[in-house]
Amino acid sequence: MPGERVEHKDRLLDGSFVVRWTREAARAIHDQRDYLTQLDAAIGDADHGLNMDRGFAAAFGKVEGDGDRPPGELLETVGTTLVLSVGGAAGPLYGSALRQMGRGIDAATFDAEGLLVALRAALEEIQRLGAAQLGDKTMVDALSPAIEAFERGLRSGRGLAAAAGKARAAAEEGMRATIPMQARKGRASYLGQRSVGHQDPGATSTALLLGALERASEDEA
Amino acid sequence: MIQSVRRASAILRELGSGHRLGVTELAERLGLAKATVYGLVRSLEADALVERDLETGKYRLGPALLQLGNAFLDGHELRARSLLWADSLAGRTSEAVRVGVPSGLNVLIVHHVFRPDNSVQILEVGAAIPWHASALGKAIAASRDDETLGMLLDGPLAKLTGRTLVDPRLLRRALVAIRRTGIAVEDQEAVIGEAEISAAIFDHDGHPVGAIGVAGPVERLLPQGSASGDVVGAVKEAARGLTRDLGGVRRFAGHR
């Protein structure tokens, strides 16, 4: 297509990609902090936006300017910071997931296929900790379809940024699909049918993180 | 069973989903004729058990239910007696306090005192938590008779997080330890990041009628993985005090 940049299929990602992702995530979460809190107030403790904002700001502080560090190590740093600084379920879930991503990347660079493997490891970790399945009204409802879309995007050969765009769109669709669901995991599940009609805050922050991944994939600056 | 009462109850439960539903929708959901549903909702409306939204013509739950719910709570002796103990426990531990009673395979929260730190918290009174994923539920279960315990362990035992105990043998073993120590701990078995420490409350026959406990972030309640002696002591004291107020006796350890 004219005007469209065609990426090299084997584009390599390094530590600076992880730093960009963390920066974009911190920005997106900060911008949407009140929205996340508002969603959480309907079915939770109204602390998701504040917690995530604090956690990602701290995490970016830990890796800013460290683009020459190994990417796996950076992901582990971000994950550990989230575990320590985000309260509630989100800190342990996102933090452990990012740490798991980092553990699977031991070279100085990785490619889009490596990112796919790491994202799958993140989903597996979240499901191991939370025992959540699709349809339970959790972050899994955004992350799982996003990973499938990412894989389809890569297989279509359009490159990382396009695949990350597909992943973001699928995550947003999955996020909206949580609205009519009844929560079967987390504190929202105590509310039973009262959780119906509200968008899940965790699925929403997951969609924001995938939007950040898309921007990190586009932006080489 | 009286069919119309069951049907009226089914209508209330459908509306309990928080949806506003019209007569046609209710009739579809319940598989009843529209005329039947119309008669039932009009009768419920007369007693304010449901009310009709003037704009949409759809039905929702009515204000009389709040009064009934409050009457249920007010008439609950354990809840009434627990108010002061729960406040004092929350003050001593600086954590949220919950009081629960057994309700089938769940523990029903009948009283909840917020963590006294002015943070936004959600009232959990009325929440039904699977017994095996809750310190309150496990504290109660540990002192139930063998028959009831067998029924509880038969489940179903849902996995709420990766840490929920769902193996009946492991649960039984955990209950033996709870019975011995008089304290039940839940470590992120219901909600990730949350923990609870609780003890059972007994009636005059030594049957567990409920439990009281502190609930909160796992890093505060279980620093280094276990509960502090102060918190355990405060929870036990509240449970003992409540048992005494109810004229109850704790079945001594090793009774069975």
Q: Do A129 and B162 touch (CB under 8 A)?
A: yes
- Interface check for A186 against chain B (CB to CB < 8 A): the answer is yes
Of B19, B124, B193, the CB nearest to A87: B193
Grouping H, G, I as helix, E, B as strand and the rest as coil, residue A106 is: coil
CB pairs under 8 A between A and B: 63
Given this model, what pLDDT does residue B168 score? Answer: 95
The minimum CA-CA distance between A38 and chain B, rounded to whole Å, is 12
- Interface check for A83 against chain B (CB to CB < 8 A): the answer is no
Identify which of A33-37, A168-172, B5-9 has the greatest average pLDDT.
A168-172
| Side chain identity, residue A175 | M
C-beta atoms surrounding B65 within 10 Å: 17
Q: When comparing pLDDT for A87 and B128, which is higher?
A: B128
Q: What is the DSSP string of A58-105?
A: HHHHHHTT-TTS-HHHHHHHHHHHHHHH--TTHHHHHHHHHHHHHHT-
* Per-residue three-class SS string for chain B: CCHHHHHHHHHHHHHCCCCCECHHHHHHHHCCCHHHHHHHHHHHHHCCCEEECCCCCCEEECCHHHHHHHHHHHCCHHHHHHHHHHHHHHHHHCCEEEEEEEECCEEEEEEEECCCCCCCCCCCCCCEEEHHHCHHHHHHHCCCCHHHHHHHHHCCCCCCCCCCCCCHHHHHHHHHHHHHHCCEEEECCCCCCEEEEEEEEECCCCCEEEEEEEEEEHHHHCHHHCCCHHHHHHHHHHHHHHHHHCCCCCCCCCCC
Given this model, what pLDDT does residue A220 score? Answer: 58
B230-233 CB contacts, 8 Å cutoff, 24+ apart: B230/B93, B231/B93, B231/B95, B231/B197, B232/B183, B232/B197
Burial of residue B145, with CB atoms counted within 10 A of its CB: 0-12 exposed, 13-18 middle, 19 or more buried: exposed
Q: Do A131 and B161 touch (CB under 8 A)?
A: yes
The sheet with strand B194-202 has its strands ordered as B128-130, B106-113, B96-103, B208-217, B194-202, B184-187
Residue pointed to by tokens 């009389």: B64
Maximum CA pair distance of chain A? 53
C-beta atoms surrounding B56 within 10 Å: 10
The minimum CA-CA distance between A111 and chain B, rounded to whole Å, is 31
When pLDDT is averaged across residues B206-229 and rounded to a whole number, the result is 91
Given this model, what pLDDT does residue B254 score? Answer: 39
The minimum CA-CA distance between B205 and chain A, rounded to whole Å, is 31
Residue pointed to by tokens 């959990």: B124
The minimum CA-CA distance between A171 and chain B, rounded to whole Å, is 22
| Side chain identity, residue A122 | A
d(CA A121, CA A155): 19
CB contacts of A34 in chain B (<8 Å) are none
d(CA B237, CA A146): 50
Given this model, what pLDDT does residue A8 score? Answer: 55
CB contacts of A180 in chain B (<8 Å) are none
Given this model, what pLDDT does residue A44 score? Answer: 74
- Is A1 a residue whose pLDDT tops 60? no
- Is A221 a residue whose pLDDT tops 70? no
Given this model, what pLDDT does residue B127 score? Answer: 87
Given this model, what pLDDT does residue A7 score? Answer: 56
For A194-206, the pLDDT digits (tens) are: 788 889 999 999 9
Q: When comparing pLDDT for B253 and A156, which is higher?
A: A156
Q: How many residues does chain A have?
A: 221
Residues of B near A (CB-CB distance < 8 A)? Answer: 16-19, 109, 119-122, 124, 127-129, 159-162, 164, 188, 191-194, 217
Reported as type and span, the H/E element at residue A161 is: helix A160-176
For A75-130, the pLDDT digits (tens) are: 999 999 999 888 788 999 999 999 999 999 989 999 999 999 999 999 999 999 99
Of B18, B120, B188, the CB nearest to A196: B18
Neighbouring-strand partners of residue B102: B107
Neighbouring-strand partners of residue B128: B108
When pLDDT is averaged across residues B131-138 and rounded to a whole number, the result is 96
Q: Do A186 and B162 touch (CB under 8 A)?
A: no
The minimum CA-CA distance between A148 and chain B, rounded to whole Å, is 23
d(CA A123, CA A69): 24
Pick the residue from chain A with its C-alpha nearest to B219: A87
Residue pointed to by tokens 């929560």: A183
pLDDT band, residue A3 (cuts 50/70/90): very low
- Is A2 a residue whose pLDDT tops 60? no
Neighbouring-strand partners of residue B216: B195
Given this model, what pLDDT does residue A218 score? Answer: 87
Q: Is the full-model pTM beyond 0.90?
A: no
For B14-68, the pLDDT digits (tens) are: 888 777 899 999 999 999 999 999 999 999 999 999 999 888 889 999 999 988 8
When pLDDT is averaged across residues A159-176 and rounded to a whole number, the result is 96
For A122-155, the pLDDT digits (tens) are: 999 999 999 999 999 999 999 999 999 999 999 9
